[in-house]
Amino acid sequence: MRWDYDMGQSGDVNVTGLTAHAPGGKVNALTSLRFFAAASVALFHVPYTLPQLHPATLMPSGYLGVNFFFILSGFILAYTYAGQSSLSIGRFFIKRFARIYPVHMLLLLIWIALFFTSWGNSTSDKLHSLIPNILLLHAWFPGPLYNLGYNAVSWSISVEAFFYLLFPFIRKPSAALLWCCLTFSGILIGVAFWDKEINSVFPDFFYFDPLARSMEFSAGILLFHISGRLSALARHPLFLLASIVLLGVAVSKALPYVRQDLQPVLLLPFMATLILGFYCCQGWIKWIMSMPGLVLLGEASYSFYMLHHMLFRLLNAPLAASFSPTMGVAVAFGITALASIVLYLGFEKPSRSWLIRKLGSDGVDASQNLLHGISR
């Protein structure tokens, strides 16, 4: 699950891009869209996190919200730094660390307090998994003990951390194109020659692997760099409609026949088109996606994504005893949305601001301050 997610999955969008956005203004449509991507992941998790309440799958393809966040992360970071000929790597890493780590660490500690003793693995296995989790390296360790251990959704944040390390070196279009081609080729070669050996031990290895998933991230960077040439086409109302329809057709008709670790390759062009459509949208669609409530939910989407898995598990039994399945799921989503807004406003933003000040990032550009809603 940008998250700069930054999901996965990057934060608010605020720097002038190559389409008609006001200098320093938000691209609210992309900010709001993040909430829908996070909600799709939560819907996919319903039978795993709310099994007593609603054991049936509500959105079988909802996990694709993580794919979306990975592409969007590259797009937004390229958008944010497009006007800068050089990049202060130290300040960039401080901003990125402050963006994802406080929420990750807080919810990791809460997860340990709530679920550590009931987790079925041995204590030694739990401790072995804890160290890479703290270091945001757990996606590099194949197998569910590591990449799905503790707060399971944080595997994608481990992947995102790798994207941040990678971005300063592939932010230019030529470097992004080269990296995208290399990772695409690596996935195909790996599946063709080592599939049986790898997946017999670690199922869906390439789905969780940060190197493989960086194909989507680099594609997002490329998408931004070509967005100016496509903006006239993408602003047409039918472009967004076509992108939604094509993605729906790909998911419903082609996806069932493609193994999970190759699905990012199949869906990449369709998700990229969707991002471009919302980036350039105008008129009533832009007005709806700019509604303050939706924008706030989009801003809180990282907290929502990171919180929903454990909060759903806590709500499972009480809601099953008090509500019908449909109403119970709606209540679970409502509670989690409110909790994520509280977490975002009460912890995520203040801790990010405090860390940036504490780590001495005073020279960061004004657009980045706007990007994360930080007041000096």
Higher-confidence position of 237 and 128: 128
Mean pLDDT of the 276-292 span: 93
Residue 237's pLDDT is: 83
Residue 38's pLDDT is: 97
pLDDT at 204 over 90: no
Higher-confidence position of 163 and 264: 163
336 sits in the region (left: phi over 0; alpha: psi -120 to 50; else beta) called alpha
Residue 360's pLDDT is: 66
Residue 11's pLDDT is: 40
Give pLDDT tens digits for 102-155: 999 999 999 999 999 888 888 999 999 999 999 999 999 988 888 899 999 999
In the chain, where the domains are located? 28-371
Mean pLDDT of the 302-315 span: 97
CA distances from 269 to 228, 237, 301, 315 (A): 17, 19, 24, 37
Find, among 156, 162, 154, 164, the residue nearest to 133 by Cα: 154
Q: How far apart are the first and last CA of the chain?
A: 30
Share of the chain above pLDDT 90, in %: 69
Least confident interval from 76-90, 228-242, 247-261, 315-329: 76-90
CA distances from 316 to 1, 233, 311, 328, 333 (A): 21, 46, 9, 9, 12
Mean pLDDT of the 246-274 span: 92
pLDDT at 43 over 90: yes
The listed range with the strongest mean pLDDT (57-61, 153-157, 205-209) is 153-157
Least confident interval from 71-75, 98-102, 255-259: 255-259
CA distances from 209 to 136, 140, 183, 308, 351 (A): 13, 6, 11, 23, 29
